């Protein structure tokens, strides 16, 4: 029998080496299983589980006739996984660049981006598994990309908002930004109805990161958003924006706004501003161009505001249509104070209340304000909607400025009735005239008619909403006929006349405050009117900020805004098929019966 000699050193060295190895492995296993078990379990679960969010389709926006104004299309976000790109794929980057309309160097640079630094201090090196190449690629282009069979290039489907009519009604519609957040207009106000409910599903994925449907554990279906029908009429909106372009070409103003509505319902049929913007390219537009000036810009309404004092005085029984007012006097004694009256453009002498409206007398309006007194004049201003938001809901609306009588100075009682010492938005002026057209009832302006599902079934209706009665019906009718005389041959708005239709309206020309003083060179020209006066169907407001006239002439409302009203009115009459109610040149006369009904 043969025995072998093993040195003690060698024996113990091997023994302790093997023991240390097993102890190290055992310690590592204890550390992983006891102390890091939760972390690694989550890591493994995250690598195995596949959570997919299914975006709901945003609802469409249509006009009152069902014409598409905003819709959602399916697009693809294309990117590259640098670690999946093979040597063979590099030769296909040229055709890919042509399809995506990108420089080939940009694609090659993305394919080389294998790692990036991360972590809190930026010291951790992480693998890059996705680099975006192009956003919002149409599905047809993506199919061509797939045909190239580049292993590392793939796309993710998503929804993108599209406005097929580009600038049309841009300030009403608003837009949805790249993050899917509605920013303004209908998109924001009606987001509750439009956005829908996103779905999701949870399953497992294999080693190639492909979903294994058989292991799908949870699934919640998405619910697409509702569609919204507006009160806007696309044809009338197109007419409005065409007229605004004409105003820009002729007068080169800072801005201009036009509003068209139905006075009996408060439904806005069209609302346009210049400058405007393309919601598809909202990120390229100036922020000032995205402002809805019809709701956000304030100005002194001037003579269009005179309907407040006139109707208020008639409603209180202080004066009738044929009562005379002395417009030749320059001051009026009020208790212990003598109030100085504003001047008129031409001497008028003693004229009736109807002629005060027809000739747009500042002194006549001031005397009516004095008759009413500060508190009642203020109350009627509030009743007509001034100094407060209309509640239209599009966003960006301002309430204007209407000071309480406690803050009035000695001139306010004589200047406020002629539209000074007050600021308003074009929509507020439009709503006040609409109240006159609607027999004295102020309606809430609205731009949404209903929300409906994919089958066309109405889910929510937005019915007309009366706000309050401002003046008695008889007063409104009398004022209506006075406003018809404004558009007659003797009035200030002869260029707003429509052949065969009785038109009621009021011009306004306001000097702008420049560095604290009224400027003789900067004006806001406006006209607000409605037709047919005996049964109003349409109210139109035109406001032009600083029209530039030839030879340095003043841009009066009668020469700038009234002709725009006339041109637009003719187009709307033809489109709606309204029938004329009178021979050309004929207008209503105010009878004694009208005078009694006003009182």
| 489-545 pLDDT tens trace | 888 889 999 999 999 999 999 988 777 787 788 889 999 999 999 999 999 999 999
What pLDDT is stored for residue 218 in this prediction? 56
Checking if the pLDDT of 120 tops 60, the result is: no
pLDDT at position 517 is: 81
**Domain total in the chain:** 1
Residues 6+ apart with CB under 8 A from 217: 202, 203
pLDDT tens-digit readout, 215-237: 555 567 778 899 999 999 999 99
In this predicted model, what pLDDT tens digit does every residue of 42-91 receive, in sequence order? 655 555 565 566 778 899 999 999 999 999 887 777 888 877 777 787 87
> Bridge partners of 160?
73
Tell me if 59 is assigned to some domain: no
Q: Is residue 553 situated within a structural domain?
A: yes
> Which pLDDT score is estimated for 590?
41
- List the domain range (segments joined by +) for residue 581: 234-447+464-598
Q: How far is Cα 524 from Cα 254, in angstroms, rounded to an integer?
A: 10
Question: What's the CA gap between 491 and 38, in Å, rounded?
Answer: 86
Query: For 261-294, what is each residue's pLDDT tens digit?
Result: 999 999 999 999 999 999 999 988 899 999 999 9
Per the DSSP assignment, residues forming a β-bridge with 228 are 61, 451
* 418, 302 Cβ separation under 8 angstroms: yes
Residue 415: how many other CB atoms lie within 10 Å = 21
In a domain, 307, yes or no: yes
pLDDT of residue 495: 93
Burial of 593 (0-12, 13-18, 19+ CB in 10 A): exposed
Give me the chain's average pLDDT, please. 85
Give the pLDDT confidence of 141-160 residue by residue, as tens digits. Answer: 878 877 888 777 877 767 78
* pLDDT of the residue at 117: 66
pLDDT, tens only, 299-327: 999 999 999 999 999 999 999 999 999 99
The model's pLDDT over 16-49, given as tens digits with 9 standing for 90+, comes to 888 888 888 887 777 777 776 676 666 555 555 6
Query: Could you tell me the pTM of the whole model?
Result: 0.81
How much of the chain, in percent, has pLDDT values that exceed 90? 54
pLDDT higher at 393 or 252: 252
Kindly report, residue by residue over 439-491, the tens digit of the pLDDT: 999 999 999 999 999 899 999 999 999 999 999 999 999 999 999 999 988 88
The residue count for the chain: 599
Q: Per mean pLDDT, which range of 9-13, 167-171, 238-242 is the poorest?
A: 9-13
CA 572 and chain centroid, separation: 23
pLDDT of residue 111: 76
The CATH number of the domain where 388 resides is what? Answer: 3.40.710.10
* 121 vs 299: which has the higher pLDDT: 299
- Confidence check: pLDDT of 138 > 70: yes
Confidence at residue 194, expressed as pLDDT on a 0 to 100 scale? 94
Pick the closest to residue 449 from 255, 238, 186, 214 (CA basis): 186
Query: Residue 341 falls within a domain, yes or no?
Result: yes
For residue 452, is it within any domain? no
User: Where does 32-184 have alpha helices with state H?
Assistant: 37-48, 93-100, 104-112, 139-147, 170-173
Res. 110: pLDDT tops 50 = yes
- Within-domain flag for 205: no
Contact partners, residue 197, CB within 8 Å, separation at least 6: 56, 222, 223
Residue 111 lies in a domain: no
The reply to whether 350 falls in a domain is: yes
């Amino acid at each position: 029998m043969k025995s072998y000699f093993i040195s003690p050193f060698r024996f113990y060295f091997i023994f302790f080496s093997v023991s240390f190895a097993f102890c190290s492995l055992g310690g590592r296993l204890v550390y992983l299983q006891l102390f890091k078990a939760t972390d690694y379990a989550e890591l493994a679960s995250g690598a195995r589980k596949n959570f997919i969010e299914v975006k709901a389709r945003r609802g469409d926006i249509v006009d009152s006739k069902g014409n598409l104004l905003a819709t959602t299309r399916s697009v693809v976000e294309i990117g590259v996984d640098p670690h999946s790109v093979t040597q063979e794929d590099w030769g296909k980057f040229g055709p890919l660049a042509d399809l995506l309309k990108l420089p080939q160097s940009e694609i090659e640079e993305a394919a080389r981006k294998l790692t990036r630094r991360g972590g809190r201090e930026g010291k951790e090196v992480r693998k890059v598994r996705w680099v975006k190449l192009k956003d919002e690629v149409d599905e047809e282009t993506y199919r061509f990309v797939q045909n190239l069979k580049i292993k590392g290039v793939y796309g993710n489907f998503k929804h993108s908002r599209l406005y097929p009519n580009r600038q049309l009604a841009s300030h009403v519609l608003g837009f949805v930004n790249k993050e899917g957040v509605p920013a303004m207009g209908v998109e924001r106000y009606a987001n509750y109805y439009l956005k829908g409910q996103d779905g999701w599903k949870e399953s497992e994925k294999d080693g190639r990161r492909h979903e294994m449907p058989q292991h799908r554990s949870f699934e919640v279906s998405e619910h697409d958003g509702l569609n919204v029908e507006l009160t806007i009429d696309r044809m009338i909106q197109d007419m409005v924006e065409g007229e605004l372009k004409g105003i820009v070409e002729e007068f080169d103003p800072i801005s201009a706004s036009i509003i068209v509505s139905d006075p009996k319902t408060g439904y806005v049929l069209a609302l346009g501003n210049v400058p405007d913007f393309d919601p598809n390219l909202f990120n390229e537009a100036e922020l000032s161009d995205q402002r809805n000036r019809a709701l956000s810009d304030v100005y002194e309404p001037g003579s269009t505001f005179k309907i407040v004092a006139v109707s208020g005085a008639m409603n209180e029984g202080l004066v009738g249509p044929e009562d005379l007012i002395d417009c030749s006097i320059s001051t009026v004694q009020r208790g212990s104070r003598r109030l100085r009256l504003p001047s008129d453009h031409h001497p008028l002498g003693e004229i009736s209340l109807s002629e005060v409206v027809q000739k747009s007398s500042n002194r006549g309006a001031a005397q009516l304000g004095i008759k009413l007194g500060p508190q009642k004049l203020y109350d009627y201003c509030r009743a007509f909607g001034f100094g407060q938001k209309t509640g239209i809901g599009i966003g960006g609306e301002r309430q204007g400025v209407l000071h309480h009588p406690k803050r009035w100075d000695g001139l306010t009682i004589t200047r406020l009735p002629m539209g000074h010492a007050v600021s308003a938005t074009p929509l507020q002026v439009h709503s006040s005239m609409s109240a006159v057209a609607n027999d004295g009832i102020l309606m809430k302006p609205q731009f949404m008619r209903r929300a409906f599902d994919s089958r066309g079934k109405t889910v929510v209706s937005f019915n007309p909403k009366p706000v309050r009665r401002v003046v008695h019906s008889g007063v409104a009718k009398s004022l209506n006929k006075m406003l018809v005389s404004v558009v007659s041959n003797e009035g200030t708005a002869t260029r707003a006349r429509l052949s065969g239709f009785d038109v009621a309206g009021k011009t306004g020309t306001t000097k702008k405050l420049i560095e604290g003083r009224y400027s003789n060179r900067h004006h806001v020209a406006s006209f607000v009117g409605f037709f047919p006066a005996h049964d109003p169907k349409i109210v139109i407001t035109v406001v032009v900020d600083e029209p530039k006239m030839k030879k340095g002439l003043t841009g009066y409302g009668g020469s700038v805004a009234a002709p725009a009203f006339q041109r637009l009115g003719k187009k709307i009459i033809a489109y709606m098929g309204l029938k004329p109610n009178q021979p050309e040149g004929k207008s209503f006369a105010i009878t004694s019966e009208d005078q009694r009904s006003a009182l």
